Amino acid sequence: MSAAPAIVPCRYKTGRTLGQGTYAVVKEAVHIETGKRYAVKVINKKLMEGKEHMIRNEIAVLRRISIGHANILTLVDYFETLNNLYLVTELAEGGELFDRICRKGNYYEHDAAHLVWTICSAVAYLHEQGIVHREIFQKSGHGKPVDMWALGVITYFLLCGYTPFDRQNSMDEMQAILHAEYQFGPIEYWQGVSETAKSFITGLLTVDPSLRMTAEQALKHPWLAQAALRQQEAVQQQQQSQEDMDTETPHDLLPSMMSRMKARSKLRNAIGAVKAMNSMRKRHEDVVEAPHPEDVSNVEVLHQGDVDMV
């Protein structure tokens, strides 16, 4: 006979919603005693009936990778109430990437390389741990190479402001993706982008997964291998006066990126459409209420910090 679940006071108060998915809502939360802010993923237990193993696996993965990489959020806590499961992580407060780029006032290729290096180093760490992200391609069976394809799409977007397989309709877009049909054009959108950067993208947007660069290979590619050095040089150039600068100023990608900010909205709309279709399909199969987080500061916690809580 199993022991009764432990009842303990909750240590958090939830606030504004940060994001929402099919099974969960991400909200800002405040630790009642310390006042420190966190992000908490609120998972509706009713929606996850029969899928409890997915939650156990997510907790196990987060515990395994937490504190192991500077650019991966740390799992701080997890607990269960009568209706929901809660995963508490660090709160990412940096804001939208492109908003930060615009506030910075300029954006060079070495800035993009530094961003891609940061992402790739985190992906490499996950792959070393035997973990594949695969969020965009959940039903794919290609494993680690799927993450590298996604990194290629992200790199392309960061350098020109639009996605490589943008087409007039979804059917043409799908065919372009399946055959890796893309180009570095129009030429004015790729002005100032090096051939090294283009070769990096080509090494990732390769149809055959066995020929696609791995995360470790990508980090050793010349474009990323020099990313830290380029970033250091960029900082030094910003510190120099215009009169003292005797080297050629790198091409600023920001003006052309700003002119194509509609691509950013289009990408968001596309992601939203995919989420909407998935949500509609789920509701068609089993119509249930959306996740509804309680104010956990006023409820009793059944389990806390127990990986077998589900």
> Which residues are documented as binding site?
41
Give the C-alpha separation, 224 to 116, whole Å.
8
Q: What is the 3-state secondary structure (H, E, C) of the chain?
A: CCCCCCCEECCEEEEEEEEECCCEEEEEEEECCCCCEEEEEEEECCCCCCCHHHHHHHHHHHHHHCCCCCCCCCEEEEEECCCEEEEEECCCCCCCHHHHHHHHCCCEHHHHHHHHHHHHHHHHHHHHCCCCCCCCCCCCCCCHHHHHHHHHHHHHHHHHCCCCCCCCCHHHHHHHHHCCCCCCCCHHHHCCCCHHHHHHHHHHCCCCHHHCCCHHHHHHCHHHHCHHHHHHHHHHHHHCCCCCCCCCCCCECHHHHHHCHHHHHHHHHHHHHHHHHHHHHHHHHCCCCCCCCCCHHHCEECEECCCCCC
Annotated binding site for ATP: 41
